[in-house]
């Protein structure tokens, strides 16, 4: 049940998106990385660059910003999937989290990414290969380079075309994702937990799972062979 405050919250976001004649940039680093934790000069580079574009900027930011540019809307939480599916959203600036990338592909939205840690560099490398994204290093960012990449993603039509192609491929499946979830849930129930699909790894002891028994055997073999090699070397 959505109360009046929640309804107004979502309505403000929807109006901001739909009343942007040049489209919208959606900017977030997800829930793990707080935008406010970034160095001030990096935050300033983001703001100064995006203040120069005609598009509106919907930015997930955890604090208040003084003298916010006229084309900005700042929110502490945003309905990401719904935003990325809106046809007026033209660019997704992201940290390269896997869920966000899938949602951007689903929406056919080009990506400007700043991979930070974990699987994010690999995630975005795979998206860059498709021709729908540009990757940058957040710690070496400058306003001019950042702005140039934003404009490249807007002005070069290949990024949007490749994003739409990736979206079509992603959605071209014999069964919808929602129906697939329903199918596998019912499948597991019908087969009483589907033990035949369970990985045999759960039956291994912890030292077998991490192959420590085999590693120990290899180390023993190496220790046994090395002294022999040394004794043979002394004969010459």
* pLDDT for residue 229: 57
Task: Give the dihedral sign, CA 32/60/14/148.
Answer: negative
Task: Name the phi and psi angles at 113, rounded to 5.
Answer: -115, 145
Q: How far is it, in rounded angstroms, from Cα 135 to Cα 178? A: 31
Encoded tokens for 47: 């703001």
* pLDDT for residue 64: 85
For residue 24, the Cα-to-chain-centroid distance in whole angstroms is: 18
List the one residue out of 144, 159, 141 whose CA is nearest residue 52: 144
Q: pLDDT digits over 57-89, tens only?
A: 999 998 888 889 999 999 999 999 999 999 999
Characterize the bridge pairing of strands 111-113 and 133-135.
Answer: parallel
Q: pLDDT digits over 115-173, tens only?
A: 988 889 999 999 999 999 999 999 899 999 999 999 999 999 999 999 999 999 998 98
Encoded tokens for 175: 């069964």
pTM for the complete prediction?
0.77
Mean pLDDT of 89-111: 94
Query: Lowest-pLDDT range, 2-6, 128-132, 177-181?
Result: 2-6
List the one residue out of 90, 81, 101 whose CA is nearest residue 178: 81
Q: What is the mean pLDDT of the chain?
A: 90
Q: How far is it, in rounded angstroms, from Cα 96 to Cα 73? A: 22
């Amino acid at each position: 049940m959505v109360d009046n405050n929640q309804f107004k919250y979502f309505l403000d976001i929807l109006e901001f998106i739909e009343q942007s004649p040049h489209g919208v940039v959606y900017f977030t680093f997800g829930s793990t990385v707080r935008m406010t934790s970034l160095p001030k000069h990096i935050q300033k580079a983001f703001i100064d660059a995006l203040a120069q574009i005609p598009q509106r900027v919907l930015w997930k930011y955890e604090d208040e910003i003084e003298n916010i540019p006229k084309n900005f809307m700042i929110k502490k939480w945003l309905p990401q999937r719904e935003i990325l599916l809106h046809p007026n959203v033209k660019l997704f600036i992201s940290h390269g989290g896997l869920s966000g990338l899938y949602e951007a592909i689903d929406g056919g939205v080009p990506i400007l990414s700043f991979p930070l840690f974990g699987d994010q560099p690999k995630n975005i490398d795979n998206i860059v290969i498709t021709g729908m994204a540009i990757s940058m290093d957040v710690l070496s960012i400058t306003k001019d380079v950042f702005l140039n990449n934003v404009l490249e993603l807007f002005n070069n039509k290949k990024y949007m075309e490749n994003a739409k192609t990736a979206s079509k491929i992603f959605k071209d499946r014999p069964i919808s994702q929602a129906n697939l979830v329903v199918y596998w849930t019912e499948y597991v129930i019908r087969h009483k937990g589907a033990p035949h699909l369970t990985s045999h790894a759960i039956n291994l002891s912890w030292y077998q799972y991490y192959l420590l028994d085999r590693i120990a055997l290899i180390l023993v073999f190496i220790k046994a062979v090395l002294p022999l090699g040394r004794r043979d070397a002394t004969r010459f």
